[in-house]
Amino acid sequence: MGLPGARMVMVAAIASGQGKTSVTAALARKFRREGQRVRVFKCGPDFIDPMLLERASGEKVHSLDLWMVGPEACRQRLAQAALDADVVLVEGVMGLYDGNPSAADLARTFDIPVLAVIDASAMAQTAGAVVMGLRDYGPVQLAGVVANRIASEGHARMVAASLRDIPLLATLPKQAQRLPERHLGLVTPDDVDGLDAMLDALADGLQLDRQAWDALAPRMPASVPAEPIAPLLAGKTVAVARDAAFCFLYPANVDVLHALGAELRFFSPLADEPVPDGANAVYLPGGYPELHGATLARAARWQESIRALHRAGTPIVAECGGMMAVCESITDKEGLTWPMPALLPGRVRMQARLAGLGPQAMPTAAGELRGHTFHYSLLDTPAEPVAWTTKHPSGVEGEAVYRAGSLTASYFHGFFASNPAAAASLFAAAPGVAP
C-alpha cells in the first residue's frame, strides 16, 4: 500500500507564453490515460485555462488564490484533492513571482514543489541560469524542469547538463499545432477543432523522466473542516445563463449557490431559451456576448423573458459579459452594432486595448465579496454607479457597480466562495450592494 497523499507540483514559469498550460494539460492527459486519478487547479482568477484543463483531466478545475479564495479554503481543496487523486497539478499564473500574492507565495504557503517550464526554443545552456534564478530568488522548492519546444535529443542533453543538480523532469517538442488565442486569452475548448487529438498529441510528445517523477514524495496537506454555509437561498430557484456567450462561470460559484440552498436551472440565451418559469432570481455570468451579437439580437424569446422579469422586480445579477448582454447595444470589434434588451441604459463598445484587469472586491450589505475583472469593452452609460469595487492590493477605485431596478450589474466577476452571505445578498429581493 502506498503512502497517503498524492504527488503534487505547481507548474510555473518565468512569464506568460512559456507553455504552462500545454505542459499542465500534457501531464494531466498522460497520467489520466495511464489510469491515474488526476486533479488540476489553476492559480489566480481565470476562466479559459480551467476549461481546457478540465478537458485534459476529466475533472472540474477550481481556482487557488491566497487573497480571492483564502488560505484555509485553498488548504481544504488541496487536502481533499490529495485524498481523492494520485496526481495533483497546480498551474501557475504569469511569472512565478508576479502578483501579490504570487504563485510562489501559494507554493511556499502549502509546501508545493515547483515544476519550472522553460521555453527552450531559443536557448540551451542558459536554461540553467534561468532555472536557478527561479529557484533561488524566492526561494522555492524546485521539483524539476520541463523544457518546452525542444528541437532534438542533443538540444535536450545540453539543457539537462546546464541544470547541474536540478532534474530535467520532462521535455516537450515544438508543437505542430499551438492552442489558438483570442482577445481574452485562449479560445474555449468547444471552439477548437480536434482538441482531444491535440491533447493526446501533447501527452504523446511529453518525454517524462519516470525515475525523477517517482522520486517526488506524496503530499497530504493538513486542513480544518470548512465552515458550514447557511441556507440563505433555501426554497429559491436561480436561473443561470450558460452557453458559449455566458461561459465564464466559476465551478465554486455553482457549488456555493447549491450550498446556499438554491435550486439552479440552466438555460441558453443563444438558443433563444427564455428564463425558466418559476425563477426567483437570474444570474448572467460573463463570457463572449460580443462574438454572438447577431444571435443574441435575434433571440426574441430570451430578450422578452428577461425584460418581463426585470419589470416584475426579479433580482438579476449580471457580471461583465452578462452586463454587456443586457445593455442597449453591443458594438463588436468589426464595428457592427447589435441591439440588446436595454435593462441598463448605455451602449457597449469593444476596443483593442485592455480596459480592466486584476483582483478587486465589491462592498455588499453582508461584507466584502472578492473577485476580479478582465475586459476589453467600454460601457457608455448615463447611469450613476451605486458603488465601486476596490482594487487589490492598492485599495484604489475599481469597477462601477450599477443598479437599475432589480438589476445589479458590473464588470466585476464575484467569487462567491469568498463570502457566501454576500453572494446570497445579491440574489435577495432588495439587492445587497453597499454604497
Residues with catalytic annotation?
Answer: 320
Residue 282 C-alpha cell reads as 437570474
Cα dihedral angle (197, 37, 48, 55), rounded to 10 degrees? 30
Phi, psi (degrees; rounded to nearest 5) at 323:
-65, -45
User: Cβ atoms within 10 A of the Cβ of 148, count?
Assistant: 24
Q: 42: which 3 cell numbers?
A: 489553476
Cβ–Cβ under 8 Å, residues 61 and 43: no
364 closest CA partner among 427, 424, 429, 422: 422
Half-sphere exposure of 174 (CA within 13 A, CB side): 8
Report yes or no: 311 and 326 within 8 Å, Cβ to Cβ. no
Query: Could you give the residue ranges of the DSSP H alpha helices within 99-228?
Result: 103-109, 126-137, 153-162, 195-205, 210-214
Whether the Cβ atoms of residue 353 and residue 407 lie closer than 8 Å to each other: no
> Residue 321: is it exposed, middle or buried by C-beta count within 10 angstroms (0-12/13-18/19+)?
buried
Q: Name the β-bridge partners of 150.
A: 173
328: left (phi > 0), else alpha (psi -120 to 50), else beta? alpha
Place of cell 460601457: 379
- Residue 96: name the closest of 10, 160, 22 by CA: 10
Cell 450558460, located at residue: 242
Using CA atoms, how far apart are residues 233 and 46, in angstroms rounded to an integer? 26
Question: Could you please report the per-residue DSSP string of 205-259?
Answer: H-EE-HHHHHTSPPB-----PPPPPP-TTTT-EEEEE-STTS-B--HHHHHHHHH
- Cis, peptide link before residue 180, omega less than 30° from 0: no
How many angstroms separate the Cα of 120 from the Cα of each of 11, 134, 162? 16, 15, 12
